[in-house]
Amino acid sequence: MKPLDMLSQMCRVVLADTDVKALCKARGLSPQATSSRGILETLFLSPQGVSNVFNSLDRNEVALLHLLKNYESPVGVAFFSRAYGGEHSYGTFNQRYQNVFAKVKKRLVRGGVLLWAEGRQNSWQKQSKMERWRFALPAEFHCHLPALIVSPRRFDGDGNWRPNVVRDKLIADLGCSRKNADDQIFQIEANELQLNGKRIEVAKLIKWQQSGWKKAVQGEKKSSPKDSDSKRPDEAALCILSELADGYWADAEQLTEPLRVFCGKKTESDAVCEAGWDWGLLAKRTTGGKTWYRLAPEQPQVAPHQYLTPNEQDGCVTADLSTIPLQAIEQLAAISDQRVVPARNGKLLLTPNFVKLGRADDKLLADEVVQWLVEHTQPFAEAYIALGERRGKTVLHENVLIARVSDLSLKVAIEKALGINVVSLKNDFVAFPRGLLDDVRRVVKKSGHVVKEVTAK
């Protein structure tokens, strides 16, 4: 359900006159909005009075709206039970959530900060009207939401964080004498550094960190959120801390209530944040007997010469795994072969791989790391020059159809019908996208010819 449809339905159908009056009063909308639903629809998304309403909400409600902000699709009334409580664990849906619904309507709908509309009936399961009610926070109001963390502290500096979690694991796994150990996730297969059997990528490395954090918080057991709208503690902590402005920090105690709302249950915020720091995703600092947290800063920029060393004898390059940025690991894996340097733990030997270079896109080839390798090592320079000479001369086109058209008028008709989507090749051959075959058939038939098909064996 799109927000504008919800707004239209809410203003024209769902809201009663009493609701409209209360809404206009809370938001301070002009009297015309009370008498005309069309005007209400226009004025609803204006910023007028939104901040006042938000400021009148309690912390739980604010946390709830911050959580709602993260969802693209509207939510049901059950979503609000984490803040308003009071639902029964027995009885019909209406009996269980009647009180919650009354509070949502009174506090948020009549406050004029929530969209409210009726969702479609499930074709496989009959639902009561209350089950079908859907609520959403308009994107226009997101910027007016009060801060999720009350009075965060400002400190200078990055604090204490672990930038080497991935690199330490990488060095440990590659230095491991026993291959395919249980906890080994990094390995070199066919001269390629891999994470869980696939080529290494930064996004996958971050996912690995997040899954480590998740396991540290909830152990090996499978996550079983109370409802689909709840978040895992690690996800919730990331969401909440990402709301902090630059330079601001929150202590674990301040996270307790938002975490409860985000997760739908009470959560040990200390343990969650500590695990996040342990996995290198959060930074912490201890001041005045309290531990303060925020998201870990970006990995610092490191110049290639600080982690790459050309070998004068064989022209290879050695990469230092203890300092190399994660982004550079991904880039190097995409253009070179990697080998572990014997008896030198934490070092990787890189040699150019022409096939991989050939597959690399222009953006990667123009990157600082690749250009440094080309400038400082002969094998990479030679491979790069050869690539420059050969690239773009051998092209394999797929998903195109080729036809030989030996009738000039037919050829002209096809070119006229397909416009720029037909390429004339030599000796009466033409190429066109596969999806336009029906159009071509139509032209051929219309001009009194037939299609003779030759299938490649």
Partner 1 sequence: MNIDRIKNTSKLDLVTARPDLRRDLHVFVAYVEEREVKRGHRDNALSKTDARRLAKLLSDRDAESEVQEDGNSTWVDSVDRFAQQLGLVHYDMEGIYVGYTSQAPSFPDNYIQVDANAYGKLSAMNLARQEKHLLEAMLEDNQGGGSEFFSTQVLGRLNGFSTWGSGTAVVPMLDFAAIRRFLLDLLARCPTGEWLSVASLVEYLKTDHRYFLIPKKPQLKNKWDKDNGRYGNFRESKHQWGHEIAIKETDADGFERVEGRYVERFLEGIPNLLGYVDVAYGGRNPKDLYPSLGVLKAFRVSERLHRALDGMIAEPTLRVTPSFDVYVQSELYPARLMRELPQFCDLVSEDTTSVFRLDRQKVAAAYAADPKLNVTAFLESLSTEPLPANVQRELSDWSAHSDKFVLYSGCSLLETDGQTAAVERFRVENIAKGIDLVRSPDRLFEELEKEQLAPLRIKHGDKSFSPLPAKTRSAFARKAAVKKKQREPKTKVTLMRIIRVQLLCPDREFLDRLQRLLVDANCTVESDRRNLSLAYSSQYETEVSRAIRALKNEYEVKIDDQ
The window from 9-17, 105-113, 172-180, 405-413 that contacts partner 1 (CB under 8 A) reads 405-413
List the x/- string, 362-381, binding to partner 1 by CB under 8 A.
x-------------------
Q: Which stretch binds partner 1 (CB under 8 A): 10-18, 53-61, 63-71, 442-450?
A: 442-450
* Rounded Cα–Cα distance for residues 266 and 269 (Å): 9
Query: Residues 6 or more apart from 177 whose CB is under 8 A from it?
Result: none
- 302 vs 410, which CB is nearer to partner 1? 410
How many residues belong to the site for partner 1 (CB under 8 A)?
57
CA distance 213 to 295: 13
Q: Residue 71 or 429: which CB sits closer to partner 1?
A: 429
Q: What DSSP character marks residue 121?
A: P
Q: Which is nearer to partner 1, 177 or 406 (CB)?
A: 406
438 sits near partner 1 (criterion: CB under 8 A): no
Report, in angstroms and rounded to the nearest whole number, the Rg of the chain calculated over CA atoms: 31
Q: Segment near partner 1 (CB under 8 A), from 182-190, 237-245, 370-378, 416-424?
A: 416-424
Q: How near is the Cβ of 451 to partner 1 at its closest, in Å?
A: 5
In sequence order, what are the residues at sequence separation of 6 or more whose Cβ sits closer than 8 angstroms to the Cβ of residue 116?
A: 6, 10, 14, 15, 105, 109, 133, 134, 135
> Is residue 18 near partner 1 by the rule CB under 8 A?
no
Q: What's the min distance (Å) between Cβ of 107 and partner 1?
A: 28
**269, 252 Cβ separation under 8 angstroms:** yes
Closest to partner 1 by CB, 91 vs 435, is: 435
User: Does 190 help bind partner 1 (rule: CB under 8 A)?
Assistant: no
CB 171 within 8 A of CB 115: no
Identify the three-state secondary structure at position 120.
coil
396 in contact with partner 1 (CB under 8 A):
yes
Of 376 and 449, nearer to partner 1 (C-beta) is 449
Three-state secondary-structure class, residue 457: coil
Contact assessment for residue 104 and residue 135, using Cβ atoms and an 8 Å cutoff: yes
Does residue 340 contact residue 179 with C-beta atoms inside 8 Å?
no
Q: Which of 402, 412, 416, 442 binds partner 1 (CB under 8 A)?
A: 402
104 three-state secondary structure: helix
Least CB distance to partner 1 at residue 386 (A): 7
Chosen residue from 150, 245, 400, 412 binding partner 1 by CB under 8 A: 400
Do the beta carbons of residue 278 and residue 166 sit within 8 Å?
no
Q: Which residues of the shown chain bind partner 1 in the complex (CB under 8 A)?
A: 31, 35-36, 354-355, 357-359, 361-362, 386-387, 390-407, 410, 420-421, 423-427, 429, 431, 433-437, 444-445, 448-457
